[in-house]
Each structure stands twice: as C-alpha cells, then as structure tokens.
C-alpha cells in the first residue's frame, strides 16, 4: 500500500537535489552577442556525390540479388537420373512392392551344408 505523504528518505532526497540546482538559473552564454549560424563546409572534390554512390550501391545489390535468385548455370542436369528398375512390376495396390526373399541353399535334405 502506498501513501501520498513522503517519508524521511523522500524528504532528504528532495532537499538534496533542491540544494544542487542553482537559483537563479544561469543565463545561456551561447546566445550572448547575437551569434550567426556558420554554413557547413563544402567538399572540394564533388566529382562523386553521395547520391551517386547510393544509387550505385542499390543497383549492385539488386543486380547481385537477381543473379543469385536466377541461379548459376548448372554443369549437371537438374533432374537426377533414376534407376528404371525401381518398383518394376509393382501395382497401385502395393503387391510386388518388395521383391521376394532370395532362397538360401541349405544342402541336401539328409546331410548338412555342402
């Protein structure tokens, strides 16, 4: 709960800062003597202006962006070659999707492996 009456710390800080502020406030010395504004110095070399540099940099960024978005000419085909034997003989219902397992020779029926 906050109260509107200041406590001891608030009164001490208020008194301290009131003592630190000069009274009366000093006049601004920069305005004495009617100063006149000084014009900005002009550059001696005006062969390339800031606008020309800005236009050149924007054109370069747009050009590089266009180059990167269209891509570089590829030395390999865009579509990888596929194995024509993949899923050969399979149907839409999924039969023959996995090739049948290979039969492992087990030898003759009477004896162990040859």
- How many angstroms separate the CA atoms of 105 and 9, rounded? 98
Model confidence over 4-43: pLDDT tens digits?
677 889 999 999 999 999 888 888 777 777 777 778 777 6
The candidate with the shortest Cα–Cα distance to 86, out of 96, 73, 78, is 96
- How many angstroms separate the CA atoms of 55 and 93, rounded? 62
Verdict on whether the full-model pTM lies above 0.75? no
Residues 6+ apart with CB under 8 A from 113: 105, 106, 107
Model confidence over 77-91: pLDDT tens digits?
555 566 555 666 666
């Amino acid at each position: 709960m906050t109260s509107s009456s200041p406590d001891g710390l608030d009164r001490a800080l208020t008194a301290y800062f009131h003592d630190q502020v000069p009274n009366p406030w000093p006049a601004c010395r920069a305005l004495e003597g009617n100063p006149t504004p000084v014009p900005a110095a002009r550059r001696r070399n005006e062969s390339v202006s800031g606008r020309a540099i800005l236009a050149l940099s924007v054109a370069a960024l747009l050009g590089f962006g266009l180059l990167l978005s269209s891509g570089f000419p590829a030395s390999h085909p865009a579509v990888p070659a596929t194995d024509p034997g993949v899923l050969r003989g399979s149907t839409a219902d999924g039969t023959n999707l996995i090739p049948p397992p290979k039969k492992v020779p087990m030898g003759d029926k009477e004896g162990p492996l040859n």
